[in-house]
Each structure stands twice: as structure tokens, then as C-alpha cells.
A = this chain, B = another copy of it.
Amino acid sequence: MSIYSASTTAPVNIATLKYWGKRDKSLNLPTNSSISVTLSQKDLRTLTTAATSETFTEDKLWLNGKLESLESERTKACLADLKKLRKELEDSDASLPKLSTFGLHIVSENNFPTAAGLASSAAGFAALVVAIAKLYKLPQDMSELSKIARKGSGSACRSLFGGYVAWEMGDLTDGEDSKAVEVAPLGHWPGMKAAILVVSDDKKDTPSTSGMQLTVATSDLFQHRIKEVVPARFIEMKKSIAEKDFPLFAELTMKDSNSFHAVCLDSYPPIFYLNDTSKKIIKLVHKLNELEGKIIAAYTFDAGPNAVIYYEEHNESKVLGFLHTVFNKVEGWKGEVKSTDYKFDFDDQLYKGVSKVILTEIGPGPQDTEETLINEQGLPK
């Protein structure tokens, strides 16, 4: 039995200009362009092995050790697109093995808990698409592949690049121009760091897909956000990255996080992702910037209460020292972080609302790896 296999890793990305709203639900076409920073895979990544063989009778997917249904329309759309591209190759070169007709075995593992609300679906779909593209030896570039990953999970398209990434919303109804592009590579502005505060919450969040559909349908402020606010911010944020202007980048990032949560609140019924702990973290970051006399840290919140705080490496002792003062009892600190001697008032019980600190930084896109999750029988190791 001959088994073909390929593995890749893919990163998590955290948007600084938020994706919220679909203009086409089945193609995951967004109502606005977005921008993200790709995070280091040392801390957060998905590893995926894709394998195929004449003997595999069906497509199968194992996520974190568990066999998953492949009935999801989104996963099926990704697999169909990839098989179609493989078929085109096979049709043009009869010597190629007919992989497009074989079943696929896909095994995927995260190095972080899925439940933490850390954009695991973005890394997951990015890794799935890239691993299969590699298995199929597809010639398409990352932007082309990002259109396939987008159909799995909108924000997954941004995980196909490292560094600073834009998802251009596009105009076409078939989505062929709705893809990820590099705004700037990792090496352009490599000192971007991120501290993630994983916030405990007692309630289940509104899933982002149904949440954004509700916002599109009911928020009176939403159209203004997508037509006026985001397009202007998209240009400004790309400029701030080109110029490595942290205060501008940070201000736009914070404002856009707030704008996104504002249109959630303006939905009917309203959607709340920020809880009292999140709000206190927001106030702390503004307090730090105020004490410092300039903007050295920026918060952003996705569809959940977790805070991602971006800062530049040269301000690490100030930013982490400040956060350590409040959250030193929380697990996850590494290296030698010392609380700073800023004088400020804070809720000394606030740390109880945070279950974990994850210290990470900007990172590259999907990486080839020799590691494989599939054994010689074509099953998960």
C-alpha cells in the first residue's frame, strides 16, 4: 500500500481591524476588509497531516484525537475545491497519481486548548488547506489558497501569511477577489509582542457566525461602520504598519475593537462579548498609556472576553511589569517579569477573572514540518 502524506503547521491570527459581517454566508464573503497580526507558532499553532491512498475509501478527519464528522458544508467546500485543483493537474499530466479520486485522512492537533476561545478555527482551516495543497503538490500561491481557507472559516484566510496580513473583502459575487495578502512581512516590524489574558466567563458566547448575521440584520449603526469607518481605518492601519508607527497602529486597533463590540451591542437583541473583567482590562491599558504619557500598549478583543494586548519588544519591561502588578498570581508568566513601580489604583481581585496569561509575539505563516501525525496504516498515531 502506497500512502502519500504531507504535514504543515499553521498559526493563529488576531485581527486588529475586525471582520464582523458576511455579505455571502456560504462563501464567507465579508462586509469589510480586515487586518491581523499572525502570532508565533511556538505558543499557538495547529499541526495537520493530510494523507491519501488508493485504499482510503472515504474522507476522514481527526481533531485533537477525536474523529470528527465531515458533514460540515464548510469543510466539504474546502475539500471539494482542493480536489478540483488536483484534478486539473492530473488532467494536464497523465503520469500523476489520481490522488483526487482517493479518500483523504486528515489528522490535526492544536498545541493549546481549543476551548480557550483563541481563534483555533482559523489555524485549523489554514493548516487543513495548506497540508492538502502540499500533499497534492498544487502550484497555487498562498493568496489563491487563502480563498479556499476562507470558505472554511473567514478569518482562516489570514493565517496563510505571517507578519501583518490583510483580508481584502473584494467585490465579486463569486468571491474570487476576496483573499488574504501580505501587508508587511514579519521582518519589516519584527518586535511586535502580544500578551493574551484568558478571561474566565460563566456564560456561553453567541457563536460568531450567528452573531455577525444578527448584527448585519439589525444594527442601525453597522452600515456606517462598514461603509465609512472601516474603509478609512483600513488605509490608515496599513500606513501605520508601513511606517511602524506603534501609537497610531495601537489607537486604531483599540478603536476598532471598541467599534466592533459597539455594533454587537447595537444588535437586537444585543450581543455582549466583553464582561466586567474585560472592561477593567481596557481601563488598565488606557491607564498604562496615560501613566507612560504615550501609547505603548493596545488591547483588542474578539468574539469573547479574552484580551490580546499588543506592544513593542522595547517596551516589554514596562508593559509586562504593569500587567504583572495586577495579574502576578495568574499562571503563564515566563522569563523574569518584575512588577513595575507605577502608582495606580486597581481592583485587587481582578486577577481572579483571568485564568491564564499567554506571552507570545508576531510569527511566520504556515511552516513545513517533517513531523507527521499519521502512522504507516494511514491512521492517527
Contact = CB atoms under 8 A, between A and B. Distances in A.
Nearest to A280: B203
B259 A220 contact: yes
A332 to B, nearest CB: 24
Interface stretch (A154-162, A241-249, A260-268): A260-268
A276 interface: yes
A258 interface: yes
Dominant secondary structure at the A interface: helix
B202 A347 contact: yes
Contact of A258 (B229, B251, B265, B286): B265
Interface of A: 202, 220-221, 224-225, 228-229, 251, 254-255, 258-259, 261-263, 265-270, 272, 275-276, 279, 282-283, 286, 347
A282 B254 CA distance: 26
Contacts of A224: 220-221, 224, 228
Given A258-B267, A265-B265, A269-B282, 6 more contacts: A220-B255, A221-B224, A254-B268, A255-B268, A258-B265, A269-B286
A262 B254 CA distance: 15
A290 to B, nearest CB: 9
A220 B208 CA distance: 23
Contacts of A255: 220, 266, 268
Contacts of A347: 202
B270 A258 contact: yes
A363 to B, nearest CB: 29
A365 B224 CA distance: 38
Contacts of A275: 276
